[in-house]
Amino acid sequence: MTRGQRRRRLSFSWWQQLLLTLLPLVLVTWFFGKSEPLLPELAMPLFIAGVASMFVTLRTFGPYKHGLINLQKALDTEQEPAAWDELARARQRALLAAGLPTWIATLAVFVGLEGVPLLLLVLSTLVLFYLYRIPRQVG
Handedness of CA 70, 76, 78, 82 (dihedral sign): positive
Model confidence at 136, pLDDT cuts 50, 70, 90, reads: confident
In DSSP notation, 54-79 reads GGGHHHHHHHHHHHHHHHHHHTTSTT
- How far is residue 41's CA from residue 75's CA, in Å, rounded to a whole number? 53
Q: How many helices (H) and strands (E) does the chain have?
A: 6, 0
| Mean per-residue pLDDT of the chain | 93
**pLDDT of 45-103, one tens digit each?**
999 999 999 999 999 999 999 999 999 999 889 999 999 999 999 999 999 999 999 99
- How far is residue 124's CA from residue 139's CA, in Å, rounded to a whole number? 28
The predicted pLDDT at position 128 comes to 96
Q: Is residue 139 part of a domain?
A: no
Count the domains in the chain.
Answer: 1
Q: Is residue 33 part of a domain?
A: yes
Percent of the chain at pLDDT > 90 equals 81
The predicted pLDDT at position 96 comes to 96
- How far is residue 23's CA from residue 18's CA, in Å, rounded to a whole number? 8
Q: Is residue 58 part of a domain?
A: yes
Q: Is residue 136 part of a domain?
A: no
The predicted pLDDT at position 139 comes to 62
Q: Is residue 23 part of a domain?
A: yes
Q: Print the domain residue range for 100.
A: 3-131
Q: Is residue 112 part of a domain?
A: yes
* 39, burial (CB in 10 Å: exposed 0-12, middle 13-18, buried 19+): exposed
Q: Is residue 138 part of a domain?
A: no
Q: Is residue 61 part of a domain?
A: yes
